[in-house]
Amino acid sequence: MELIDLRSDTVTKPTPEMRQAMASAEVGDDVYEEDPTVKRLETLGAEMIGKEAALFVPSGTMGNQIAAMTYLTRGDEVILEAESHIFYYEVGGLALLSGAQACPLPGRRGFMEPELITQAIREDNIHFPRTGLLCLENTHNRAGGAVLTPEQTKKMAEAAQKHGIPVHLDGARIFNAAIALGIDVRELTAPVDSVMFCLSKGLGAPVGSLLAGSKSFIAKARKNRKVLGGGLRQSGVLAAAGLIALEKMVARLAEDHDHARLLAEGLANIPGLTINPDEFSTNILILSLEKLPLTAAEFVQLLKEHGVLAGAVSETAIRFVTHKDVNKQQIKEALRIIEQLVNGLNRKTRV
């Protein structure tokens, strides 16, 4: 049975062109800054994202944590959204690696009201930690791939920057946001001081992310990458796939969004399921199962037994993520399977 894998866009496989580029990549020792393929990738990434310089890192989590380490001193506090990836899914890295504590704020689809940010900034007091960083996320994972607009990003960033507090953007799927809005990605990154974005996920590279910012910031970040074991020597083998990701895989993200829309509209038409397709504009969907007589984990297992992979994100909700390795026909087949299973559950409930 061929599985339809809608758990995440992290499951994507490198394209044949990526594999060929990796096999023939020109390499050198990147710790000595002698790998020409890594240098090309970092230059291209910085240019595309609108920053002075960039640093190739193995993962998005490492990129975010390197940024925090570069900005913070031990005992600082970081303002971020309560459902953000940095707070929720990065293994307490702020505390473990930077010795910082988090100040999570409530947000709506990733947006924190500037007034809340201002109120959270600590005054100079012997009892208080120093507010050292504001972190944003675009697209917002746990909000179903929600997109922050340039205006929203600017409002939040200015609330911190006018107090001298730098702003880091977790832009793991920032190109999805730009495609959804139909704008240049640099409009979304211009208000922030640094940004991390993934080359894997929807862009299809097997490994890697880029951390971008000013030249001085990246110089400091490079040393912190070494501390974390991120000096990967002949990493041009990996960077070669990243170059293909940036050069040829960004525009096709629109296809993933179309497939997500098709999936959302189909799910909305199945009695017993709850989803508003208009809430989702990128490649992530959150589906409510509150009307079904089983938990999200149980339904995910049932789906797996019938060839569809998804992920439970709460007791009553599951997540679907579209990507380049799931085509339109597979989306339709997934919908057929889901409808069949839900109809069966509904019949049992009525009996």
Domains of the chain: 14-248 (3.40.640.10), 252-350 (3.90.1150.10)
Examine the pLDDT at 1 and tell me if it is beyond 90: no
Q: What is the mean pLDDT of the chain?
A: 97
User: What pLDDT, on a 0 to 100 scale, did the predictor assign at position 186?
Assistant: 98
Q: How confident is the model at residue 345 (pLDDT cuts 50, 70, 90)?
A: confident
User: What pLDDT, on a 0 to 100 scale, did the predictor assign at position 350?
Assistant: 57
Examine the pLDDT at 63 and tell me if it is beyond 80: yes
Q: What is the pLDDT of residues 119-172, one digit of tens each?
A: 999 999 999 999 999 999 999 999 999 999 999 999 999 999 999 999 999 999
User: What pLDDT, on a 0 to 100 scale, did the predictor assign at position 2?
Assistant: 85
Q: Are 130 and 76 in contact (CB under 8 A)?
A: yes
Cα separation, 256 vs 258, in Å, equals 5
- The single residue listed with the structure tokens 């208000």 is 191
List, in sequence order, every residue forming a beta bridge with 79; answer none if it has no partner: 103, 134
Residue 139's SS3 state is: coil
320, containing H or E segment: strand 317-321
pLDDT average, residue stretch 276-280: 96
Cα separation, 18 vs 185, in Å, equals 23
Q: Which of 49, 20, 6 is nearest to 324 (CA)?
A: 6
User: What pLDDT, on a 0 to 100 scale, did the predictor assign at position 349?
Assistant: 62
Examine the pLDDT at 351 and tell me if it is beyond 50: no
196, containing H or E segment: strand 194-198
Three-state DSSP string of 237-261: HHHHHHHHHHHHCCCCHHHHHHHHH
Cα separation, 45 vs 255, in Å, equals 22
How many other C-beta atoms lie within 10 A of the C-beta of residue 288?
16
Cα separation, 105 vs 117, in Å, equals 8
Strands (E), 100-193: 101-105, 131-137, 167-170
Q: What is the pLDDT of residues 86-115, one digit of tens each?
A: 999 999 999 999 999 999 999 999 999 999
pTM, two decimal places: 0.96
